[in-house]
Amino acid sequence: MAATAAAALAAGALVVAAAAPSTASSIAAAPSAGDPHADGTWTVTGPAHTDLSAELSVDSAGDLRLAVDRDGLPVLLPGRLGIRTDAHDLTTGLSFVSKRERTVHESYTMTTGKQLRQSVTMQEATFTFRGADGASLGVVVRVSHDGVAYRYQLGGSGQVTVESEASTFEVPTDAKAWVQPYQPSYETERTETTAGTANEAQPKTCTGDTCSFGYPTLFDVGGSYVLLTEADVDGRYSGSHLDHKDGSTSYSVALADDAPVTSTGPLSTPWRTAIVGSLDTLVGSTLVNDLAPPSKVKDTSWIRPGVDDWSWLSDGNSPGNFDRQKDFVDYAAAHGLEYTLVDAGWQESWVPELVRYARARGVNVLLWFDWNDLKTQAQRDAWLPKVKAWGVAGVKVDYMYSDSQSTFQWYDAILQDTAKLKLMIDFHGATIPRGLQRTWPQVMSVEAVRGEENGQNPTRDIFLAFTRNVVGSMDYTPTWFSRPGRQDTLARELALPVVFESGWTSLGDNPEGFAAQPLAEEYLEQLPTVWDETHLVSGSPEQQAAGDRQVVMARRSGDRWFVGGILAGASDTMKAPLGFLGKGTWLLQTVEDNGGSLQRSVRTVTSADALSVPAAANGGFAAIVCPAVKGRTDCDEPVVTAPSTSLVLDPSTTTAAPGAQITVDAQFTLPQGAALHGVRMTLDRDRLPAGWTATGRDVTAGSLSAGHVLGGDWTVTVGKDQPGGAVDVPVWVEYANPAGKNAPPVHVEQVVHVDIPLHGTVYASDLPFLSQTNGWGPVERDRSNGETGAQDGNPLTVDGTVYSKGLGANATSQVQVDIQGRCTRFDAKVGVDDEVAGKGSVTFIVQGDGKQLAATGVVVGGQAAVDLGADVTGVHTLTLSVGDGGDGNAFDHADWGQAVLTCAD
């Protein structure tokens, strides 16, 4: 049995040792089964060498309470437990039925986080109680070395509607507290206060004498720290927060929006979680992930954390500028950064070209989305495969701002979709992590923080190290060195991406700002974003004698330690004992402030030494520690970048009719430098439209020396049913990344742009837009304008008539399409969509090459569709415009129903 358990543990399996139902000898003052008036207390102790225990009790009224002790001293006072459904009140009148115990061992590997390899042991006890009406309630309690958690279990296979929980954490009123007023964005400021007076720190968002606070919430109870949060939340439930009545000890769990939760039984609720211990225990805790379900993604080889340069923070208009985004790609390529993140403003017309440009330089592109464009399955099915085909490595999704059950169901859906497509994801404008990154390892980071983009607050940053970042990756977006009016020093800004863990670390400055700080550049070139080990070296959220707060964090990657220290408040000396280092001699490479610039020093240390850094007000430092081996003078590893290569396609553009053949010739060269290895060239058949075929073989080379040419050729046949328009035929070359260390292959790609002449009947909604503007969200294809998201409209409907094809717009709107001079007639049924319930007034205009060809008068909501047609003979650029009817554009949802072109055969 022991050998079997050990093998399973080594394989990353869950191993449990179950005990028989408890007897009187294992229960203190055990009640008689089924007696609702008997008191009882059960103690669940942690695994060996831990100092935590939980005491579950039931009183004579049948009320459940849970308390937590550390070293035999109370940390959490007895707090109520229980749950109400629409069918049963399981908060009182409960009687004990049975108890089962087991030891839970888990071994698993993360793709992100403070400690990639986890081995955890938890003691678990499952208690069964019977309600006054005979309904059953399970309470599962787990105790580990770093905390206590419990959840409810409701049996049955039918629908379960949870109306509320009685779950309450009881904290002494004089306990020091660090609280955050609850908003579903989690972007409010944290405040240091006490448990009893926390409401005084709350802005005017309370209801009477009750205020709401967001997770995670930190308390100092007699020198033991308690961080309250929750774990394992998905679409079966909603998120929650804590409600507190002014002056009381009680922090009660409140479901999101105070709305019922409906699930299919049997139901296990999320874990109500208290991380408990010293500050070092809190900072190193993995309890939230330990409580989460195992990974749903078997193959994680495609998941690659890393550093990106992010243009939006320092240059808000840059995401809409192709040339400026290339500057950020060039910077990432030159400095060995894995990614460039393109935020709001990107255009479908040039992103594929930017992706090709970046990947040829060894940089992958991450793409921002408003969640309104990915809210429905239809929207995700339209967008996610498309950007994957472009070569985008991952997406950043923004503006969810909700803890509701429906939003968690959306998280479930998009996580399944991105895992299937092998797209990594970052959630911005999101809820806090609750173990999500263990279950869905493609989640690289989560915002849920008032970060760098929301202004600076050095004190807030200290609090975050002991609260928000404890429970999961935090997309803080640090290192805006050139920020106007910056409130911290350069060295402190440099330390932030070490103090704060994030699987994707989005650097906040622009190429010019980074170039002005070469020592910072050198440090960031070395920076990992995932860690083998994490330690709090020194510091506290509490104010020091000198009037400042500080934290020093050490994180290990391989054989190197990265140390970051930040200070908030008056200048002070920051001390970092180096006891976390192993035996032997080490090189300590430190970057610190020197007036208004940075300076670097290197010295030899051992684990018996301590680093001492004089820091200016709101200052800090960053360091790297590596083994001191003979001949080594610093801790830097070389930055290896992708060489410049050339892939030329002949032809690069061509025109071909349906059924025609195209011969594609490709030549790939490395002009200079060391030979490339593992080279493969192919025409990507998987990305050809349906009905297209290609013949020809892939070309490979074990190595390709500078000046040599790798050539390939293919014959492509256009599908016989291919409609008119433009199609890109991709040819790519991949070779082994010279950076090594399991870096992904470098991907060099070019396309043959094939124009298919328009012919026969062509719908405007099937043509690519040369340009589009719209008064509310994007112009929609084959659906109404809807709301602000793409593909979020309804069937095009005017005065009760539904049109299967067409465009949905909102005044003022303009769409331009290329009709190649091959069409003779444009016709449409135009009107105001029924989704605005008879409101709205618009005008429609058709232009050809800038000349007005046809127009309507004012068309109002509820009016029957108007026939609008024009002779477009010889026209190349067709422009379809919608005006606001002279009374503003509110409710001006305009439909171009059955917008069709008659073109040459």
Active site residue 453: yes
Strand partners, 36: none
CB contact at 8 A, 576 and 620: no
CB contact at 8 A, 832 and 889: no
Task: Report the distance separating Cα 148 and Cα 103, nearest Å.
Answer: 14
Residue 323 CB-half CA count within 13 A = 0
Q: Where does residue 623 rank: exposed (0-12), middle (13-18), buried (19+ CB within 10 A)?
A: buried
- What DSSP element (H or E) covers 171? none
Task: Report the distance separating Cα 605 and Cα 137, nearest Å.
Answer: 57
Task: Report the distance separating Cα 400 and Cα 188, nearest Å.
Answer: 16
Q: Where does residue 311 rank: exposed (0-12), middle (13-18), buried (19+ CB within 10 A)?
A: buried
**Nearest C-alpha neighbor of 276 from the set 125, 107, 103, 149:** 149
Q: Which residue has the tokens 């991709």?
A: 730
Task: Report the distance separating Cα 69 and Cα 110, nearest Å.
Answer: 30
Amino acid at 704: L
Return the C-alpha torsion angle 482, 486, 492, 493, nearest 10.
-40
Buried b (16+ CB within 10 A) or exposed e, 182-191: bebbbbbebb
Q: Where does residue 86 rank: exposed (0-12), middle (13-18), buried (19+ CB within 10 A)?
A: exposed
CB atoms within 10 A of CB 495: 33
Can you read off the two tokens belonging to residue 298? Answer: 């078997």
Catalytic residue among 89, 230, 453, 884: 453
- What DSSP element (H or E) covers 507? strand 504-507
Can you read off the two tokens belonging to residue 519? Answer: 């020592």
Can you read off the two tokens belonging to residue 720? Answer: 């016989």
Active site residue 827: no
- What DSSP element (H or E) covers 701? strand 699-704
Q: Which residue has the tokens 């090459």?
A: 849
CA 716 from chain center: how many Å? 40
Task: Report the distance separating Cα 564 and Cα 537, nearest Å.
Answer: 10
Catalytic residue among 327, 373, 398, 892: 398
SS3 528: coil
What is the secondary structure of 786-855 as a DSSP string? -SSSTT----EEETTEEESSEEEEESSEEEEEE-TT-EEEEEEEEEE-GGGTT--EEEEEEEETTEEEEE
Can you read off the two tokens belonging to residue 167? Answer: 């779950």
**Nearest C-alpha neighbor of 508 from the set 533, 532, 484:** 484
Amino acid at 600: R
Amino acid at 63: D
CB contact at 8 A, 142 and 158: no
Buried b (16+ CB within 10 A) or exposed e, 421-451: bbbbbbbbbbbbbbbbbbbbbbbbbbbbbbb
CB contact at 8 A, 532 and 116: yes
Task: Report the distance separating Cα 11 and Cα 400, nearest Å.
Answer: 37
For the chain, give the longest Cα–Cα distance: 95
CB atoms within 10 A of CB 850: 8
> Which residues participate in catalysis according to the annotation?
398, 453
